[in-house]
């Protein structure tokens, strides 16, 4: 199995239609054909995406708490969030 890694940050996520085909556009570099995707697969994709959002929010909160504790202890150093 090949794995491709693509980072799109906050670039747009959009649906595109071209010649009776539907695509999910992720940033500028990735387009996924979802024309024949079943409703179950789309719901699974939505759930995985929601789970990823929860993980990302938890990581951001953890960094903020660490920064607050460090500031209370007199250390002005601010940590940068780690990529998910």
What would the pLDDT profile of 65-79 be if each residue is shown by its tens digit? 877 777 777 776 665
Q: Is 12 in contact with 27 (CB distance < 8 Å)?
A: yes
Q: Please report whether residue 77 resides in a domain.
A: no
Q: Please report whether residue 83 resides in a domain.
A: no
Q: Please report whether residue 27 resides in a domain.
A: yes
Q: Please report whether residue 50 resides in a domain.
A: yes
Q: Given this model, what pLDDT does residue 42 score?
A: 92
Separation between Cα atoms, residue 35 and residue 40, nearest integer Å: 14
Separation between Cα atoms, residue 43 and residue 31, nearest integer Å: 19
Q: Please report whether residue 58 resides in a domain.
A: yes
Angle at the Cα of 32 from the Cα atoms of 44 and 84, rounded to 5 degrees: 65
| Domains identified in the chain, total number | 1
Q: Is 50 in contact with 38 (CB distance < 8 Å)?
A: no
Q: Given this model, what pLDDT does residue 83 score?
A: 55
Q: Please report whether residue 4 resides in a domain.
A: no
Residue bearing the bigger pLDDT, 22 or 65: 22
The pTM is what? 0.62
Q: Which domain holds residue 28?
A: 13-72
Residue 3: pLDDT over 60: yes
């Amino acid at each position: 199995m090949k794995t491709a890694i693509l980072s799109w940050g906050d670039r747009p996520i959009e649906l595109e239609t071209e010649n009776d085909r539907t695509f999910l556009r992720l940033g500028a570099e990735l387009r996924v054909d979802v024309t024949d995707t079943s409703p179950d697969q789309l719901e699974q994709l939505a759930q995985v995406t929601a789970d990823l959002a929860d993980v990302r929010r938890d990581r951001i909160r953890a960094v903020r708490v660490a920064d607050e504790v460090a500031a209370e202890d007199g250390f002005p150093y601010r940590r940068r969030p780690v990529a998910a």
